[in-house]
Amino acid sequence: MRNQTLPQSAEAEAARLLADDARYLWHSWSPSGTAGRGGMVVTGGRGCEVFTVDGRTWLDARAGMFNAALGYGRTDVADAMHAQAQRLATYTLTQAATVPAIELARRIAGLTGQKELSRTFFCHSGSEANETAVKVARQFHALRGDPGRRTILSLADGYHGSTLATAAMSQIPAARAGNEPLPAGFVHAPAPRCPECAARRPHRTCAVPGPEAVEQALLAAGPETVAAIVLEPVLGVAGVWPLPAGYLRRVRELCDEYGVLLVLDEVMTGIGRTGAWFGYQHHGITPDIVTLCKGLGAAYATVSSVTVRQSIYEAFSADPLMGGLRHGVTTGGHATACAGALAVLDAVEREDLVAGAARTGALLLERLAKLRDLPAVHDVRGAGLLLAVEFDTPEQAAQVDTAMNDDGVLARLQGAAVTLAPPLTLSTEQAERIADSLERAALALDARL
């Protein structure tokens, strides 16, 4: 980390901001009584680095919250948003449209790789997109004369958001506890990982629940009552667990067999993160509905999307009350945000960042895989630029995370895993720096054991 000595006035201003942060700001998913991350006030960024008010520079190996896919300080995206905000900040998409919203919907349709998967609804956050997908699935079945299909089946360790319905889609205690009663109609199948042996090696020999566990949950719920199965191609928040080969293909078959919609939550994995535009493209299947958020706005634009098969869209013309979707949020598909997302997609294409993520991700994984031999390292896994090194205990992972912080590298702690999701623009040298830092920390941990 490069530490800059601050002039006295800047030091006083930094102290004031830290005090006001501690006094006024309520942080998401953070212990009360702390200012940011031990007092982390981010004031700027350039490329893959962010700067904090105390004069420090950090290599952001977690891209904020896995969303700053293009890094920081880009004028191309900022200029596109500025120009749109001056022309027309936004206009409602209720019975009207804007140019950026039309263009972004068309661009996403072109990226799905499937002609049918072509109709997009916009909102702001990943939670909102997944909540919308639930409503679309339930309304769709009712409109086609199958109103008994209400249940949503997802993986127990998945994460789909922080609204009440999306919290109900997960069994992660932090998302659920204290919020009960959560909405009814959500059931879970065990995820394809083994929590019991997550702390014992070698986990590869363990029997992890496969897609047959999804079928069992489907049968237990009564397949005629299930509206949709919702999955992440890589269980991100659970600690970066890519779905095994063949898993999604089998779930697709189950959906077809039982008349259930397949919803892929690509909020974290979409727009190149795994080395493909969409995570499902690694699996040779097409979902019925796909949601996007983080990489779409790339931390510049607040926008998320729900893209559905044209046939699902068409079913909504039968709605008795409206003749269309009864759902919306005032500034969903905000024109300035859509203009930003279009500039993001331009940059991803122009700079060939999807292939870049596959390449740099493979390099990082290869470096990190060498750590598997260390006694405290339980597993190393990843898909593109979404990676995790799992230790035997959360405490060990926390020690590694802290050591990386001391090196000026920001990773993310998820249970016993140190996870990485740097900007897709990460250079080879920066990938080596992240790997060096993690390796150094893991070796130091090993020496203390």
Q: Which listed range, 100-108, 123-131, 383-391, 430-438, lies at the site for ligand PLP (CB under 6 A)? A: 123-131
Q: Which listed range, 75-83, 122-130, 221-229, 275-283, lies at the site for ligand PLP (CB under 6 A)? A: 122-130
Q: Exactly one of 84, 90, 98, 127 binds ligand PLP (CB under 6 A); which one?
A: 127
**Cβ 433 to ligand PLP shortest distance, Å:** 25
**Under 8 Å CB-to-CB from 153, ≥6 apart: which residues?**
186, 187, 188, 189, 214, 217, 218, 221, 226, 228, 229, 230, 260
**Cβ 406 to ligand PLP shortest distance, Å:** 26
- Tokens 């979409």 locate to 270
Instruction: Identify the CA nearest to 359 among candidates 447, 275, 255, 299.
Output: 275
**Cβ 66 to ligand PLP shortest distance, Å:** 7
Binding mask 147-166 for ligand PLP (x = CB under 6 A): ------------xxxx----
Q: Are strands 261-266 and 289-292 parallel, antiparallel or unpaired?
A: parallel
**Cβ 165 to ligand PLP shortest distance, Å:** 12
Is residue 121 close enough to count as binding ligand PLP by CB under 6 A? Answer: no
What is the DSSP-derived secondary structure letter of residue 243? P
Nearest residue to ligand PLP on Cβ basis: 126
**Phi, psi angle pair for 112, to nearest 5°:** -65, -20
Looking only at residues 226 through 245 of this chain, which bind ligand PLP when binding is defined by CB under 6 A?
Answer: 232, 236-237
Q: Are 338 and 303 in contact (CB under 8 A)?
A: yes
Distance CA 40, CA 210 (A): 41
Q: How many CB atoms lie within 10 A of CB 78?
A: 13
Looking only at residues 260 through 279 of this chain, which bind ligand PLP when binding is defined by CB under 6 A?
Answer: 265, 267-268
- Compare residues 214 and 263 and give the one whose CB is closer to ligand PLP: 263
Binding-site size for ligand PLP (CB under 6 A) equals: 15
Q: Are 255 and 262 in contact (CB under 8 A)?
A: yes
- Compare residues 63 and 354 and give the one whose CB is closer to ligand PLP: 63
Q: Exactly one of 100, 126, 233, 275 binds ligand PLP (CB under 6 A); which one?
A: 126
* Cα 138 off chain centre by: 24
Which residues bind to ligand PLP, rule: CB under 6 A? 125-127, 130, 159-162, 232, 236-237, 265, 267-268, 293
